[in-house]
Amino acid sequence: MTAGNGGNGAAMDVLTADDIEALCLGATLLGTGGGGDPYIAKLVAGQALTTYGAVEVVSARDLPSDALVLTTAVIGAPTVILEKIPAGTEFVASVQALASYLGKAPAAIMPIEVGGCNTLFPIATAAEMGLPIVNADSMRRAFPQIEMTVFTLAGLPAGPLSVADEKGNQCVFETTTNHIAETLARTSVIQLGLANAISCYPLTAGQVAEHGIQDSLTYCTEMGTLLQAVKDGEEGAWERFLGESGSRAFFTGKVVDLDRRTTDGFARSTVILEDLEGSDSTMRIEVQNENLIAFHDGQPVITTPNLICLLDCETYDPITTEALAYGNRVVVVGMPCAPEWHQDGMLELVGPSAFGYEIDFVELSA
C-alpha cells in the first residue's frame, strides 16, 4: 500500500496491483486453512485494480460517522469454491441488492474477514464501484459462520443481508438474530450451489470505528511481507516472523491420514500428522472450513479463536484445507487472535464449545 496524505494529516493509503502479492500471502496465512484459496481472488483483484485504477484505503474514522459501510464475501464451502469458481459479478450484485433494499448508497466497502479470498474480493468490488476500502474487518482471520464476528459481541446485527449468485438470483433477508442470519444465508447457498456472494453487517462508519478490528489490511500485508522473507530464505526471517506475529511453531509432521467431507454447507475434515523427527508423537487437527483445534498426543494445544496455520516445510507456503493432501510435510504454527476478541462472550461465540468440542480454551503460550 502506497502511503499518501489524508485530511488532518492522517495517513491515507492507496492499494494498487503491486500490493496484491503480499496481501494475498498474508490473507492465505490468516485464513488459517479456510476462507477459500485466494489465488483466483488475487487474479480478480489484480485485474480490477488494473482496469478501474487504484483503490483508496481509508480508516473508518476518516469517513462521516453516519456513512454506510457495506461488506461483501464468498459464503460456502472452500472445497466447492475450488471447483465452482466465482464469476465476479455476484459481489457487486450483493452490495447493490442490499443498498437498494436499504435505500442508501454505500460510502465504502469493507472485508468482513481478513483471511482467504474474502480479503481480496471486496477490493475488486471497491475498484469496480469506485469506492474506498475500509482498513478494518470483524475477525482478523477467517471463521466459517456469519455470526462469528466482534460485531456480534458488540450487539450489532448481521442483517439485513443479501445473497447473490452468478446467474443473477438475489435475495435479501431481515433477521432477528445473527445466528438466524447464518441459518437463512446457509440454507440459501446450499440451494444456489454452495459458493455465492453475501453482503451483511450494514453498519455506519462510526460503528465500524468503535467496534471493528482496525488496520486489518495493513496487518495482513505485514504478515505477508514477513512470510515472504521466510520464503525468500532471508537470514533470521523465520525468527522475525514468529516474534513479530507473536506465534509459535508447535509441530513438524507428515499428513498420514485425512478424512474430508462436505456436510451442512461446510467443508469438514480430520487431519492426522506424524512427527517428522522420528518419535511416536502425533498431532490431530479438527477442521470446519478453518483449522479449529490442534491436539498434540491427545491434548489440545491450540484452540479457536487462536489461529492454526499449516505451512509447507520446504516452501513455507500456507496450505489451505482443500489443498491439504496425504504425504504433505508441514509446520504447524499457532498465532494469537486479534486482541479485540478477548472480551465477554468470546468463548461462547468462537471458542471450542461453539463448534461442539467440550474442551477448555487454551491460552497460546510463547
DSSP state of 309: E
* In-domain check, residue 62: yes
* Confidence grade of residue 261 (pLDDT, cut at 50, 70, 90): confident
Tell me, yes or no, whether 52 lies in a domain: yes
- Together in a domain, 112 and 43: yes
365 part of a folded domain? no
Number of domains in the chain: 2
The Cα–Cα gap between 3 and 13 comes to 5
| Domain-located, residue 50 | yes
Distance CA(144)–CA(147), nearest Å, equals 9
Mean pLDDT of 80-87: 67
The CATH number that applies at residue 29 is: 3.40.1610.10
What is d(CA 349, CA 272) in angstroms, rounded to the nearest whole number?
26
- Give the end of a domain, one of 179, 198, 217: 217
Residue 36 DSSP label: -
pLDDT tens digits, one per residue of 24-60: 999 999 999 987 778 888 999 999 999 999 999 999 9
pLDDT at residue 12, as a whole number:
46
CA distance 153 to 231: 37
Residue 97 lies in a domain: yes
6 pLDDT band (50/70/90 cuts)?
very low
Do 23 and 106 share a domain, yes or no? yes
Among 273, 276, 303, 308, which residue's Cα sits nearest to residue 290? 308
174 and 251 part of one domain: no
**212 and 252 belong to one structural domain:** no
Q: Are residues 343 and 194 in the same domain?
A: no
Q: Report the amino acid identity of residue 331.
A: V
Check whether residue 72 and residue 148 sit in a common domain: yes
Verify that 145 and 98 share a domain, yes or no.
yes
Say if 225 falls within a structural domain. no
pLDDT tens digit string along 330-339? Answer: 999 999 999 9
Q: At which of 217, 236, 267 does a domain end?
A: 217
> How confident is the model at residue 2, as a pLDDT?
60
Decide the pairing of beta strands 133-134 and 55-58.
Answer: parallel
- Residue 256 and residue 124 share a domain: no
192 and 328 both lie in a single domain: no
List, for residues 155-213, the tens digit of each pLDDT value. Answer: 999 999 999 999 999 999 999 999 999 999 999 988 888 789 999 999 999 999 999 99
Last residue of a domain, one of 217, 236, 264: 217
Decide if 230 is inside a domain. no
- What is the residue range of 288's domain? 246-355
Q: Are residues 203 and 264 both part of a single domain?
A: no
Query: Dihedrals φ, ψ of 294, to 5°?
Result: -115, 125
- CATH code where residue 255 lies: 2.40.390.10
Over the stretch 307-331, which tens digit does the pLDDT of each residue have? 999 999 999 999 998 889 999 999 9
Same domain, 165 and 45: yes
pLDDT over 50 (residue 141): yes
Query: What CA–CA distance (Å, rounded) separates 351 from 342?
Result: 11
In a domain, 224, yes or no: no
Question: Do 251 and 341 lie in a common domain?
Answer: yes
